[in-house]
Structures are given as structure tokens and as C-alpha cells.
Amino acid sequence: EVHLAASGGDLAQPGGSLRLSCAASGFTFSSYAMSWVRQAPGRGLQWVSSISGSGGSRYNADSVTGRFTISRDNSKNTLYLQMNSLRAEDTALYYCAKYGDPYGYYHFDYWGQGTLVTVSS
Amino acid sequence: EIVMTQSPATLSVSPGERVIFSCRASHGVNNNLAWYQQKFGQAPRLLLSGVSTRATGVPARFSGSGSGTEFTLTISSLQSEDFAVYYCQQYNNWPRTFGQGTKLEIK
């Protein structure tokens, strides 16, 4: 059974940093691209960043480019999101999500439970 | 960026009725379109990918259709557990984009 457990969310000050983690199990982690998707309170879903199975390719939303870095450690079956220069508008529940096909970037077939990031002074 | 527009924002429907959700893309997305269901306090759940392919465990009352820029999700006979927010998402282009969601309420 696929399981994604996100953690690392916290209260951070504007301009501060956080690192989110997502521990994956139940599938061959290195074969699947992964992603972070966020949801601001009471709002819809917004794709943030994606990374290939090998980690060699990365894609970011314009709103986080230059501030957020997605990475993965396939030996630990863990996905990360390093978040720097945080802004109030980054406040959201951050979901890690697995892409549905090996080596592709298609639909998201499994989602973690989310970890809450709050940016406020 | 491809903008995904869902309509209406809210649907009020009675159990047992048929409901149709609409999703429009600002540019063609081929068949690279998925639908997700999100219940209150839960993570999204994949319903359909490739416009019409049901995910594992999704009941047959959920179906999808459309092509290019116009897509629909249909629930043939609403069950109490179907009341949730529904999102469409395109994965044809970067950035991946979602519609703003349609909330399905009990009438």
C-alpha cells in the first residue's frame, strides 16, 4: 500500500526558511516523479514543484522559483522541499504527491496528508 | 500558463440525482486531464485520468468526457459520500494547473 507522510511544517517568519520532508513507502520510489502541491486556507490546489525519479530534472512554479528547491534521497525514500525567503502568501497546507506512471509527469495518483506552513510575524 | 476554469463554483443537488461538472482549458490539453475529489479535511483523491479512465476503486457512477479544451465529469446517481469539492487538472503543459474547484452541496 502506498503511503506518503509529509512533515516539517511550522510557523515561520517572513524571510525565514523551512524544510519539508515526505517519507514514501509501498512503491519503488526511484521509479516515480514526485511533486509538492499546496493549498492555502479555504482555497484551491496549486502545483508548486516536481522532480524526476532520478532527481535529475526539476520543475517549479514561477511563484517559488529562486526560493524553493525540491530534492529527493532515493536511498531514504524521501522527498524534500527547501523553502527560503518565505512570504505570507506561502502560507498553506503542503501536500506531497506521487505521479501515476513510472518515469512520467502525468496525474497524481496518491497524496500525502499534508503539512501546514504558516508564515507570519 | 494554461488556465483551467470550472463551473459552477457550487452545485446543490439531491442524493440520487445526476450531476455534471464542467472544466474548460484556456488552450488545448489533448487528453491530459484529471479529476480529483477532496472531502473536508482530507487530501485530494484521484478519480479520473486521461479524461475518462477511472482510478482504482472509483465507482462506475463517475465518468468523464471531453477533448481539447472542454471537459465534463458526471456522477450518474449521487450518493451521500460524494458531497465534496471536485477539481480538474491539466498535465499537458508546465506549469501543471488546477481549476478553482466546484463544491458539491446537499440540496
Q: Could you list the pLDDT tens digit for every one of the 107 residues in chain B?
A: 999 999 999 999 999 999 999 999 999 999 999 999 999 999 999 999 999 999 999 999 999 999 999 999 999 999 999 999 999 999 999 999 999 999 999 88
- pLDDT one-digit tens code per residue, A28-78: 999 999 999 999 999 999 999 999 999 999 999 999 999 999 999 999 999
Q: How many Å separate Cα B40 from the centre of its chain?
A: 16
Q: How many Å separate Cα B71 from the centre of its chain?
A: 9
Q: Which of residues 28-87 of A touch B (CB under 8 A)?
A: 35, 44-47, 50, 59, 61-62
- pLDDT one-digit tens code per residue, A74-119: 999 999 999 999 999 999 999 999 999 887 889 999 999 999 999 9
Check A107 against B89: CB less than 8 A apart: yes
The cell numbers describing A113, all together, are 496528508
Nearest to B49 among A62, A106, A112 (CB): A106
Determine contact: A109 vs chain B, CB below 8 A: yes
Indicate the length of chain B as a whole number: 107
The cell numbers describing B14, all together, are 439531491
Nearest to A109 among B46, B95, B98 (CB): B46
Closest-CA residue of B relative to A39 is B43
Cα gap A15→B6, rounded to integer Å: 34
pLDDT of residue B28: 96
Determine contact: B44 vs chain A, CB below 8 A: yes
Nearest to A44 by CA among B47, B24, B6, B33: B6
Check A45 against B101: CB less than 8 A apart: yes
Q: Which residue spans within chain B are E strands per DSSP?
A: 4-7, 10-13, 19-25, 33-38, 45-49, 53-54, 62-67, 70-75, 85-90, 97-98, 102-106
Check A111 against B44: CB less than 8 A apart: yes
Cα gap B90→B81, rounded to integer Å: 25
